[in-house]
């Protein structure tokens, strides 16, 4: 039996998370920015479907990507060098999260990015915590991703692609941007073969929590990222 959250922005000890389904910790509460930020700081995230109560998770192990360990295939490297694309930061957050919400996922019949979640993360974007990385071509948004930045930790949420490698282009630029700003980890939440192919790996939850605790109180303060901070990086001469 999982606990129902009180009005205060507190969570049960992570040791109480279920083994099956992996990481289910609590239900209820709300999606106020303060609660969501408290959750991330403690290695917890919301994930639920339409019609369900808000569910809070902290799986063990935890899938993470260290920004410097992104695997770039030969074909992606060629795309990064030569394809006519532009990468922008924080210029179309609402479009990115809406596109992620309607992107079909293998093994899922619906979306967990329900309207309440979209509204909550848009509030976090307005507060300078949620960010989007966008891949554009000929003035059209063709791919991207979004997540939460707290201190030196980035908590990835979702990505989408409307053209070959468009989301991977966004991820490659995100990693370069995070390295330049001293970030130490990208939380990928759940283990998947796709994430593993990109260089993410599972680590024990207690190791993840310890690293997040080291990172969240440092780094830059919240705020919108410069739109063109990293565009063109992979096409620059060596």
The model's pLDDT over 163-174, given as tens digits with 9 standing for 90+, comes to 999 999 999 999
Q: Whose CA is closest to 132, among 156, 113, 150, 112?
A: 156
Whole-prediction pTM: 0.94
pLDDT average, residue stretch 38-46? 97
CA distance linking residue 235 with residue 73, whole number of Å:
16
> What digits encode the pLDDT tens for the residues 73-117?
999 999 999 889 999 999 999 999 999 999 865 544 446 899 999
> What digits encode the pLDDT tens for the residues 195-236?
999 999 999 999 999 999 999 998 889 999 999 998 888 975
238 — pLDDT class (breaks 50, 70, 90): very low
Confidence (pLDDT) at 105 = 53
Q: Whose CA is closest to 230, among 88, 90, 103, 62?
A: 88
- Identify whether the C-beta of residue 120 lies closer than 8 Å to the C-beta of residue 31: yes
1 — pLDDT class (breaks 50, 70, 90): confident
CA distances from 7 to 4, 44, 45, 48, 124 (A): 10, 17, 17, 19, 20
Confidence (pLDDT) at 111 = 65
Confidence (pLDDT) at 110 = 46
Confidence (pLDDT) at 231 = 86
- Identify whether the C-beta of residue 185 lies closer than 8 Å to the C-beta of residue 212: yes
Confidence (pLDDT) at 20 = 96
H helix or E strand, kind and range, residue 65: strand 62-65
Confidence (pLDDT) at 109 = 44
pLDDT average, residue stretch 168-191? 96
Confidence (pLDDT) at 237 = 54
> What digits encode the pLDDT tens for the residues 108-140?
444 689 999 999 999 999 999 999 999 999 999
CA distance linking residue 135 with residue 168, whole number of Å:
9
Strands (E), 81-219: 86-89, 130-137, 140-150, 153-161, 185-189, 201-203
Under 8 Å CB-to-CB from 6, ≥6 apart: which residues? none
């Amino acid at each position: 039996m999982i606990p129902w959250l009180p009005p205060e922005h507190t969570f049960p000890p992570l040791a109480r998370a279920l083994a099956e389904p992996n990481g289910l910790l609590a239900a209820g509460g709300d999606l106020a920015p303060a609660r969501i930020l408290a959750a991330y700081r403690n290695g917890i995230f919301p994930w639920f479907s339409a019609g369900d109560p808000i569910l809070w998770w902290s799986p063990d192990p935890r899938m993470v990507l260290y920004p410097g360990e992104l695997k770039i295939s030969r074909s992606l490297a060629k795309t990064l060098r030569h394809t006519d694309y532009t990468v922008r930061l924080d210029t179309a957050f609402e479009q990115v999260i809406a596109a992620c919400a309607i992107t079909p996922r293998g093994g899922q019949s619906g979306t967990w990015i329900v309207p309440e979640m979209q509204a909550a993360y848009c509030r976090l974007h307005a507060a300078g915590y949620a960010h989007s990385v966008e891949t554009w071509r000929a003035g059209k948004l063709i791919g991207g991703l979004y997540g939460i930045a707290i201190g030196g930790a980035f908590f990835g949420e979702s990505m989408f692609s409307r053209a070959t490698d468009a989301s991977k282009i966004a991820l490659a630029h995100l990693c370069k941007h995070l390295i330049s700003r001293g970030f130490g980890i990208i939380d990928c939440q759940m283990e998947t073969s796709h994430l593993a192919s990109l260089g993410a790996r599972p680590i024990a939850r207690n190791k993840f929590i310890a690293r997040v605790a080291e990172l969240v109180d440092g780094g830059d303060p919240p705020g919108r990222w410069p739109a063109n901070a990293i565009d063109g990086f992979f096409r620059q001469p060596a």
